[in-house]
Structure 1
Amino acid sequence: MSDDAVSPEEVRHVAELARVDLADDEVDQFARQFADILDYFETLDEVPEVDREADLANVMRPDEVRDTLEREEALQNATKTEDGYFKGPNVS
């Protein structure tokens, strides 16, 4: 892909959308960099597809039923509680 694949006007438009002020030399630099990025994407298009699906394995453990804490025991180290529940700071 040639360096003029991305025009300076397109770079200025993207910079305006991103609210970035660019000097003229920066516009030229970004145009070249954008062209390089597009070249990389063209290279990725040349990678052959894989015709097999990956072997998937369930890595999750099975659920186990266990006894839970009593409410008082769960709240015993809480800094603040209210009506039997944890109380956190107000969010504004």
Structure 2
Amino acid sequence: MAGIITLFYFTLGTVVFTQKIKLFAIVSSFILYVALHIAAANALLTGLLVACLLITFVILLSLNCNRDKKAVLHFSLPCWLLIVSVIYDVFVNQPIPAY
């Protein structure tokens, strides 16, 4: 599922914002894949990450600014989602130690 979402994110962002395949878009898609792979254990977190992606995409479509600025904002979002996924995995997804 993470791969499908990532591929859809990459193609939609490339077609709508950059119209070229750029290195930062490829790296951003890989980062999104890692974030979704980490969050795959929790369905609620995965849903929140996908909802955040969709909401950001809709907001960026309605903004009146340069297409390159929209592309940078669109493809920088997975970095923040990776940070959230790692923090969740480290602090919330910890097993309870048996004493």
TM-score (norm 1): 0.35
Structure (1 or 2) with the larger CA radius of gyration: 1
Indicate the structure with greater strand content.
Answer: 1
Choose between structure 1 and 2 for higher RCO, CA contacts under 8 A separated by at least 6 residues.
2
Indicate the structure with greater helix content.
Answer: 2
